[in-house]
Structure 1
């Protein structure tokens, strides 16, 4: 038997293959959008992918389950409550998949969603591992607020939080302490609020250290679970529905993206529709020195997908601009990870642009912060732990497109986050929306010298 884990660092997502080496058969669990790593794993091990299990319809990424089934003939397994649109077999309690000496069976564990399951792996009759999806993480459990008004089953966060309490205690706590825990996400995911960086754990370790498995009342559990959850990115409901339908072929979709000619001057930028946002992925310094009109500086770093899907709405077309072709290709792939590849009107290399942003005199700002309107675009939980500027206005980046008009414009505006990436996006968005009526500055990495 062999268990293979893959990590998508941008989305803090883990996917898995369970290989029966004696039968040369593979079952995948929660695969990412690009099917190629799983197909290569099967080829390397001279094995056949015979099944793909989805622990629930994911909100934060698009799965390749349908494409994998179409390319390999694998059976798709989901809980019956998902009411999936693609051909599948219901994988409810009492059902099982057996390959060689391996048995995989589901535990119905509503809480993160009303249709969530965890998958127990038995080898030679003994529980060896549990694939917990978004139910149990290392150090935390899944958030319960993503299915209010989303999907075929729409349940209040309070009810799901209560269900999570019982799922954890009735279904997962009884598992042996040496059972390895393989979650669908790690630190940095927005599917929970306190995930640890580890890629796996054991039930024994989680029983000792994970707050959500401790001996507390249901009321106290629900209160703690609902408190300070991160914002919900705009693309989450879109991905739930797309995963219930099954996404189209990854390679066909990214191959259909239009790559335009390099923009070297103002005239060459005339081909762009001025009403469509340009998502400029270059670093903040390059953006401030020259960018195109109607641009947002979503830096192509570790959380590109999250901020793209938080600022750009599902179905909203956008341009993608970078300073090199290699990065463009990688970021089209990353846009596809959340189902946004079809929204890219054109991707192009940007060499010269004429719009600029003023650079902040940090020493002047330090000495006279009262002369500026300070906007904090961090998440609620970050601000509740520590407010960096006492009189700052707090609007999380994911809410800024809807709430920017709340910001007073009688003083220059300074935008900050925790490290500079979110403030680059927020300040560029504000500069465009305010159309020069008020100066907007990005505090950037200098925020680390405060507080």
Structure 2
């Protein structure tokens, strides 16, 4: 049995290929199927199965495209209500893959339709479990993403209770030496306390995972429903898109139009993906600066609504190509009105902050803290700051007074570049400043 983990750092997403006797299955594939095809060809295998542990909220899966291109059967729980061709895969169901067996285990909790997959050989000597978003290294899946999305909706408290029973009655009873392969690692918003490790064992999780310790159901529910990270705007959209099945990745990206500056339509959001220094030196009036970084996809889907059109602006074609593919990972490629290179003329320059003056006279400014709630709670910085998390900023601009110059900060500078540009674009004020990386000098 060959098991290979494919890991997307930007989305903290792990998918898997399993090969036995020339037959291959994929679990929770990413939007671009090419790496799986390459791996299959490298091993001379035949791709026969694609398994979805649930309709994912944080990325778009290529399960339908893989089925259409290879004929591989898609397996998913009957509870998903999948609109694409599939075979149901629930408790008691098995897939024969060479000399191993893949067994479904229904584990509701993160979602009502979550499953895990146990892989074992004929002698049951080698056992692993692919836990999807049910069990992570050091954590379990959050229960608050299916209150208004998917075939079955449920309140977070109900799903937390289901997670309590799924972990206690199904996962915690497995052999302690069973290897655990989850669908996410640290940085994913599908949990709140993930370890840097990308695989584990049942025994280790029994010892170290806070959610698997001895406690009653009510304590577990309260623990799991409190202090979860924010929910990006695109999560519900991706659940429903994955339930339907997405268009082919390559075709979707190729269909994105290229435009020229004189073709821009007023009133449509412009996202400039260049580094903040390039943006501040000169940008299209009204554009916002969302830099092409490790978490670009997450922040794009946290700031922009699923039904909202936008333009992408970059410094060169290579950057445009990278970001178009990143955008497609969350299904937002269909929202792109057009992509273009930054023009040479007609650009607006951002205001420069006199940092020394701000240090001496912070009261002369309106300070906007765009960090997440838990960050502000754990590390307060400016006592008089207005706190509006970045994902909420576009909806709450009216809460920011405009009688003073405005300074925006986050924890390290990436988000404040976006936040300051959003406020400047929405208010048309010249005196909007990004504190940037200098914020670290204000933290005790």
Q: Indicate conservation of the 8 Å contact 1:120/1:127, yes or no.
A: no
Matches within 5 A, 1:103-114: 103-114=101-112
Give the match for residue 331 of structure 1: 323
Q: Indicate conservation of the 8 Å contact 1:276/1:294, yes or no.
A: no
Give the match for residue 90 of structure 2: 92
Q: Distance in 1 between matches of 2:253 and 2:335?
A: 11
Bigger drift between 99-108 and 320-329 goes to 99-108
Is structure 2 residue 431 aligned with structure 1 residue 431? no
Give the match for residue 320 of structure 1: 312
Q: Distance in 1 between matches of 2:397 and 2:217?
A: 38
Is structure 2 residue 400 aligned with structure 1 residue 407? yes
Q: Secondary structure at the match of 1:375?
A: strand
Bigger drift between 220-229 and 239-248 goes to 220-229
C-alpha deviations, 1:401-425, integer Å up to 9, x for none? 1112112222211111111111111
Bigger drift between 156-165 and 361-370 goes to 361-370
Give the match for residue 187 of structure 1: 186
Q: Distance in 2 between matches of 1:361 and 1:204?
A: 55
Give the match for residue 202 of structure 2: 203
Is structure 2 residue 385 aligned with structure 1 residue 354? no
Is structure 2 residue 7 aligned with structure 1 residue 7? yes
The correspondence for 1:27, drawn from 20, 25, 28, is 25
* Structure 2 residue ranges without an equivalent (≥5): none
C-alpha deviations, 1:381-438, integer Å up to 9, x for none? 22222112222221111111111211222221111111111111111010011112x6
Matches within 5 A, 1:39-438: 39-123=37-121, 124-126=123-125, 128-261=127-260, 269-352=261-344, 353-436=346-429
Q: Indicate conservation of the 8 Å contact 1:274/1:293, yes or no.
A: no
TM-aligned CA deviation for residue 325 of structure 1: 0.7
TM-aligned CA deviation for residue 28 of structure 1: 0.4
Q: Distance in 2 between matches of 1:68 and 1:450?
A: 50
Bigger drift between 240-249 and 414-423 goes to 414-423
Q: Indicate conservation of the 8 Å contact 2:286/2:424, yes or no.
A: no
Q: Indicate conservation of the 8 Å contact 1:275/1:294, yes or no.
A: no
CA RMSD in angstroms comes to 1.2
C-alpha deviations, 1:307-344, integer Å up to 9, x for none? 11111111211111110110100110000000011111
Q: Distance in 2 between matches of 1:71 and 1:374?
A: 53
C-alpha deviations, 1:271-304, integer Å up to 9, x for none? 2112111110001111111110221101000110
Give the match for residue 439 of structure 2: 447
TM-aligned CA deviation for residue 345 of structure 1: 1.3
Q: Indicate conservation of the 8 Å contact 1:60/1:235, yes or no.
A: yes
TM-aligned CA deviation for residue 177 of structure 1: 1.3
Q: Indicate conservation of the 8 Å contact 1:30/1:184, yes or no.
A: yes
